[in-house]
Amino acid sequence: MLKRSVGYVLLLSVALLFSCKDKVGKDEDNTPFNKGDMLKNVSANIILPSLSQFDADISELKSSFITFKNDPTSANLEEVKMHWKSGYLTWQTLKIFDFGPIRNIGFKSATGTYPVDASKIQSNINAGTYNLASASNLDAIGLSALDYLLFNDQALSEFQTNAAYVVYTDEVIQKLSSETQTIVNGWSTYRGTFNESTGTSSTSAFSEFVNEFNRDYELAKTAKIGIPIGKANLGLTNPEYVEARYSGISFELLVESVKALKVTYNGSGGLGFDDYLVNLERTDLDDIINDKFDIIISKAEGFSMTLEQAINDPSMVNQLDELYLHLQQQVVNIKTDMTAAFGVLITYQDNDGD
């Protein structure tokens, strides 16, 4: 009888011990998430490296164009195009962060507005007088303007025979370079503010980060794919709205954009939105978001032609629709479910619904 009592006490003690361990582990798992550490990781390991790479790309673009101006050969033009493409791909990793220094000078609009207005560019060149800082010229500057200036069918001939064409291209590149330096300098002082602004008010850096992450994703969905394939125009396609129409790298830009959003979501290996969701016991949502990003990337990489060619190919309709459907489904995951879990209010406006 005594042995049975002792055994019962030991068994009860062991059970209580494991119960206490489970409770301690659960408490540790529910430790409040440190958003400040997440923002520090994002600024140090995502934003600043992207900005540094973009700065380097634009510097190479500027340098290569100087060489081309002095010796306007086809080979030198290809060198300029190569650096332009590198910069445009890197831009996909930077444009997500349209707050602080980038928003202060309207850098996202000045750098990445599309579609380009080719007739406006030609009108500016022919007139010889224009203000590239004017809002009316947003679709005649930046990376999209260079897509037209460098890749249109008459580009090489224009560079070789039309001094005004050369001057205009040079001024577009100079503006892009100068404003990039302003952003680089701005982030050197804004970084501390960003890292410490962890609240959920609409003016906090954390809230702006969540909002711009979502807005950039929706722009990728709507502007890169939705509008060109007719999802915003009763099914009528709009090939003239294709991004980078002259170079034909639209799908590459979409893939790079979605990959950048996924890297940002996951904190590039450090603390990110994914860790915050896990801390909030929403691992299910984290899995759904990551799986959907992978599906979208795979679908976008599945095209062996330009977006404009796909739009004009009836056999590609279902494939384009499927890509758009997955892009649309992710909006609910990140804009509705994720932001609700974070307690952040979406403050930007979109015009095509969710």
Q: Whole-model pTM?
A: 0.90
Q: Report how far residue 44's alpha carbon sits from residue 133's, in angstroms, rounded to the nearest whole number.
A: 31
| CA of residue 61 relative to chain centroid, distance | 21
The token duo for 251 is 């799908």
Q: Report how far residue 250's alpha carbon sits from residue 266's, in angstroms, rounded to the nearest whole number.
A: 25
Domains and CATH numbers, the chain: 34-193 (1.20.1420.20), 199-348 (1.20.120)
61 has pLDDT over 80: yes
pLDDT given at position 18: 40
Count how many Cα atoms sit within 13 Å of the Cα of residue 212 in the half-sphere of its side chain: 19
Do 142 and 110 meet the contact criterion of CB atoms below 8 Å apart? Answer: yes
pLDDT given at position 349: 81
Cβ within 8 Å of residue 341, ≥6 positions away: 276, 277, 280, 282, 285
Q: Report how far residue 187's alpha carbon sits from residue 51's, in angstroms, rounded to the nearest whole number.
A: 9
Residue with tokens 């300029």: 80
What percentage of the chain carries pLDDT values higher than 70? 90
pLDDT given at position 296: 98
Nearest to 333 by CA among 282, 297, 298: 282
Burial 196-232 (b: 16+ CB within 10 A, else e): ebbeeeeebbbbbbbbbbbbbbbbbbbbbbbbbbbbb
Residue with tokens 């370079």: 177
23 has pLDDT over 60: no
Tell me how far CA of residue 153 lies from CA of 109, 110, 255, in angstroms. 26, 25, 26
Cβ within 8 Å of residue 94, ≥6 positions away: 47, 50, 51, 54, 102
Where residue 350 falls among pLDDT bands split at 50, 70, 90? low
The token duo for 122 is 């030609």
Do 168 and 125 meet the contact criterion of CB atoms below 8 Å apart? Answer: yes
Q: Report how far residue 274's alpha carbon sits from residue 324's, in angstroms, rounded to the nearest whole number.
A: 24
What percentage of the chain carries pLDDT values higher than 90? 88
